[in-house]
Structure 1
Amino acid sequence: MLFRSANKLSILFTLIAIACIVIMFFLGFWQLDRKYQKEDRLAQIEQRKAANPMLVQEVADNPEDFVDFPLLVTGNPSNQTFFVDNRLKNGMAGYEVLIPVETNYGAVLINLGWVPGTGSRAELPTVTLPNSNEFEGVLYVPSDNVMISETNFNYGSFPVLIQQIDFDEIAKHLGKEVLPFTVRLSPDQNLDFLREWQVVVMEPERHLGYAIQWFGLGIAALTIFLLTILKSMQGRQD
């Protein structure tokens, strides 16, 4: 009975060890795949950056196909300002500031850039809005973070503090539809806003580093596992 229980435990530990080793190598290959994806994205950004600016009517129907392309927006800007909360730069809390620009093809959200917070969440920063009818930047489609819930339902009262760029919520505040993309303005258009746009969350080199760590852990675990089996077999022969 004791031998049978010990044998069952040995099989269980073996299965757990194999599963852990497989997971470690899987995570290593996954990190390598993420590295290649980031490299492709960065190469795409550099390639598209050199293209001539597109116009709103060319991208309005399928904005996802034109992410990272330069875009020229001509229209009437509004002072209806949106502050996107919890944006960090160099360890400092602040906001990204958006305004709608009315064009002949719909309202376009212009991301003016980042500004630091005031130190009090009850007081939004005072910003100087650009005096221009032309805005040039890069087309960007923000992803929806399902972990973030909107809290500002005081529709029509500006400036508006929002938790993320949610086009449906922004449309409710404006009382009209907006096109489902934003324009991240070029860095040289207004010095009042910081425009160090983060194109990828993690650089490819960091993914490579994580891959090496997972492969190292997998190799170490596999080595220990094989040595344990070898020692067990030797013990039985003795």
Structure 2
Amino acid sequence: MFGAALTVFGVAFFLWLGFWQLGRADQKQALLDQYATAQQTQVEITPQNAASLPRYQRAEVSGRFDPAHQILLDNMPSHAGQPGYRVVTPFETAAGWLLVDRGWLPLGGSRSQLPDIQVGNDQRTITGTVDELPRAGIELKAPSVDASVPWPRVLSFPQQAALEQQLGQKLIPGLLLLDASQPDGYERIWEAHLGFRPERHVGYAVQWFAFAAAAVILFVITSFRTKKATDE
């Protein structure tokens, strides 16, 4: 009796895990579809649409960089896993102030020696992809930054409200990932933020379903052998 109850519990648990992984696969596929759809058209960022553009929307905007108040996002590894920074520069537009991610730079020999990230403040039109600010896996209270700390400032997973306070400007939500074809940028390999791809979640689901099937088969074999031994 205990074996049957344990088997039912195990099978139910394995099936739940399998269907959960399938659900995650559907979510990741929806994210990929959203990315592909948003990349098909390019819109101009205006005062009317600036706060409501969907994530991964391709966009263009005219304005000027503010080279005097730049941010180095810390704990941002490259695609190859190398430690470094992402360079974020405020960009003044008719729609408001927009954060522009100009790409990734390696950490260098010492944290005390920051990279040279100067950029001109001439009028220009830039293109890129709308995205969210990077977030930590576990949200922690952002440490306060002394106003006397010089720019560029090294920050780890800052929230928009904290950035607005430091910059003294109201910001358009999110940021713009500067296109790789645009000048004044660094390493830029932009893609949808997935973690595991849908195929991997499906693979995990198959494993959990296989465990459920194995538990049923093992229970049947064990029950058959027990019954046979009892009959003898």
Same fold (TM over 0.5): yes
Does 2:147 align with 1:155? yes
Shift of 1:140: 0.9
TM-score by structure 2 length? 0.85
Whole-Å separation in 1 of the counterparts to 2:146 and 2:59 = 32
| Cross-structure match for 2:163 | 170
How big is each residue's C-alpha offset from its partner over 1:111-152, in whole Å with a ceiling of 9 and x where there is no partner?
111111113333322224255532210111236446143335
Residue 222 in structure 1 maps to residue 210 in structure 2:
no
Residue matched to 1:195: 188
Unpaired stretches in structure 1, ≥5 consecutive residues: 1-9
Tell me the residue number matched to 1:82: 71
Task: Go from structure 1 to structure 2 and tell me whether the alpha carbon gap of 1:226 and 1:120 turns closer, same or farther (over 3 Å shift).
Answer: farther
1:210 paired to 2:204: yes
Percentage identity across aligned positions? 25
Distance 1:156 1:218 in 2: 60
Take 1:156 and 1:179, find their aligned partners in 2: how far apart are those partners? 25
1:134 partner amino acid: T
2:87–2:105 CA contact under 8 A, matched in 1: yes
> Any unmatched runs of 5+ in structure 2?
none
Structure having the larger proportion of residues in helix: 1
RMSD (Å) for aligned C-alpha atoms: 2.4
Letter in 2 for 1:232: T
Aligned pairs for 1:1-238 (under 5 A) are 11=2, 14-63=4-53, 66-79=54-67, 80-89=69-78, 90-129=80-119, 132=122, 133-142=124-133, 144-145=135-136, 147-149=138-140, 150-151=142-143, 153-155=145-147, 157=149, 158-190=151-183, 192-199=185-192, 200-238=194-232
| Higher mean C-alpha deviation, range 133-142 or range 107-116 | 133-142
How far, CA to CA, are the matches of 1:22 and 1:123 in structure 2? 56
In structure 2, C-alpha distance between the alignment counterparts of 1:215 and 1:190, rounded to whole Å: 50
Shift of 1:48: 2.0
Amino acid in structure 2 at the alignment position of 1:230: F
Shift of 1:62: 2.2
Q: Higher relative CO (CA 8 A, sep ≥ 6), structure 1 or 2?
A: 2
User: Relative to 1, partners in 2 of residues 1:143 and 1:221: Cα closer, same or farther, differing over 3 Å?
Assistant: farther
